[in-house]
């Protein structure tokens, strides 16, 4: 060994942090980070729990005995902060630290007041880095 301490495979994996990327709005550079596993979990599974809570606040009685009926009911629930929550989860400083708390209604309300171009520019920046659905060799036969 040459004096270096080797990281274990586990340590190497846990050192893998989301990439921070930049995008422009006008002539100002802003930053966003890719999702963490926890962010993905909240996006996939947490949204349903958030909708349950919102439905309850809106006085909607949900039918938990029928999955199909429940799905239709949840589709009718209005989440006033869904887009703002997405912005809060992604927008960060150059070190990857979130600028807003996606669980803080005051932050979400402030984000809701932004010009829609903020969301559009962030969405465009994300779309520019994600792989496109290219036809495979099988599709061209």
User: What residues make up the domain containing 54?
Assistant: 18-127
Decide if 4 is inside a domain: no
pLDDT of residue 15: 92
β-pair partners for 90: none
47 in a domain, yes or no? yes
Please report the beta strands in the chain, taking only residues with DSSP state E, as ranges in sequence order: 20-25, 28-33, 91-92
Q: Do the Cβ atoms of 62 and 70 come closer than 8 Å?
A: yes
pLDDT of residue 128: 87
Domain-embedded: residue 138 = no
In the prediction, which pLDDT does 62 show? 93
Distances (CA, A) of 71 to 11, 24, 83: 41, 38, 20
Is residue 140 in a domain? no
CA angle 131, 133, 136 (to 5 degrees): 115
Tell me what pLDDT residue 43 has.
84
**Each residue of 116-137: pLDDT tens digit?**
999 999 999 999 876 655 555 5
Strands (DSSP E) along 12-138, which ranges? 20-25, 28-33, 91-92
């Amino acid at each position: 060994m040459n004096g270096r301490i080797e990281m274990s495979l586990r340590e190497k994996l846990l050192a893998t942090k989301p990439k921070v990327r930049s995008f422009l709005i006008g002539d100002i550079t802003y930053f966003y980070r890719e999702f963490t596993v926890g962010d993905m979990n909240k996006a996939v599974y947490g949204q349903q729990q958030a909708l349950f809570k919102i439905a309850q606040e809106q006085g909607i009685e949900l039918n938990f005995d029928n999955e199909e009926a429940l799905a239709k009911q949840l589709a009718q629930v209005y989440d006033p902060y869904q887009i703002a929550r997405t912005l809060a989860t992604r927008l960060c400083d150059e070190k990857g630290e979130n600028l807003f708390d996606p669980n803080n209604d005051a932050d979400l309300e402030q984000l809701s007041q932004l010009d829609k171009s903020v969301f559009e520019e962030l969405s465009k920046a994300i779309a520019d880095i994600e792989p496109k659905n290219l036809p495979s060799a099988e599709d061209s036969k």
